[in-house]
């Protein structure tokens, strides 16, 4: 009951009458909306987003802002590393130059690939945050009962500004 009161005070839509709150088949606890049992961690996570192999943990209600900060810091470090690798390259068109700089050149190319991946992840998550949806809800909306039976496309969306404010503040 305390969780329901907290959900109502935040302006989060409650489960419609047709949607029953379900009991987790593994933990046997009553799951609130947006919660999911993670098969890898073996526990239920409130406002489950995804299980991240990079941090070996679930991203959910309590650590999602920290995950966004992690991606931001990782992007800054990769950009700095790319700058350092690029500044170390002194381009000359000779076989001897390539033999001496192949490690630095390969490092730069690897940093560019990782930077692209991290940037895409960060942009994707910022988009989902601005819509007040999770990765799990975005990918599996057709299987989630409270989204499948909802007349709204996303019943949790409260506008970009309010979504970002509630997430970051």
User: pTM of the entire structure?
Assistant: 0.78
In angstroms, rounded to a whole number, what is the distance separating the alpha carbons of residues 54 and 72? 14
In angstroms, rounded to a whole number, what is the distance separating the alpha carbons of residues 112 and 85? 10
| pLDDT at residue 118, as a whole number | 97
Q: What angle do CA 64, 70, 166 make, to 5 degrees?
A: 35
Contacts 24+ apart (CB under 8 A), 135-139: 135/49, 135/50, 135/59, 136/36, 136/48, 136/49, 136/50, 137/34
> Is residue 41 flagged as an active site residue?
no
4-63 tens-digit pLDDT: 444 443 444 554 454 567 888 888 888 888 889 999 989 899 999 999 998 999 999 999
| pLDDT at residue 9, as a whole number | 38
Catalytic residue among 52, 58, 131, 169: 52
For the chain, what are the domain ranges?
Answer: 64-168
114-147 tens-digit pLDDT: 999 999 999 999 999 999 999 999 998 888 877 8
63-121 tens-digit pLDDT: 999 999 999 999 999 999 999 888 877 666 666 766 777 888 889 999 999 999 999 99
CA distances in angstroms from 151 to 79, 86, 145, 155, listed in the order given? 43, 52, 12, 8
């Amino acid at each position: 009951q305390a969780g329901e009161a907290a959900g109502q005070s935040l302006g989060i839509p409650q489960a419609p009458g047709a949607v029953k709150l379900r009991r987790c088949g593994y933990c046997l606890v009553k799951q609130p909306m947006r919660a999911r049992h993670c098969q890898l961690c073996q526990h239920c996570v409130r406002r489950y987003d995804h299980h991240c192999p990079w941090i070996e943990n679930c991203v959910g209600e309590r650590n999602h802002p920290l995950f966004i900060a992690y991606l931001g810091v990782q992007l800054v470090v990769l950009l700095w590393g790319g700058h350092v690798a690029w500044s170390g390259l002194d381009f000359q068109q000779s076989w001897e130059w390539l033999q001496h700089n192949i490690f630095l050149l390969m490092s730069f190319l690897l940093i560019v690939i990782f930077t692209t991946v991290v940037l895409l992840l960060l942009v994707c998550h910022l988009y989902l945050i601005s819509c007040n949806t999770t990765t799990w809800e975005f990918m599996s909306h057709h299987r989630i009962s409270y989204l499948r039976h909802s007349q709204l496309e996303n019943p949790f969306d409260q506008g970009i500004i309010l979504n970002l404010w509630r997430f970051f503040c």
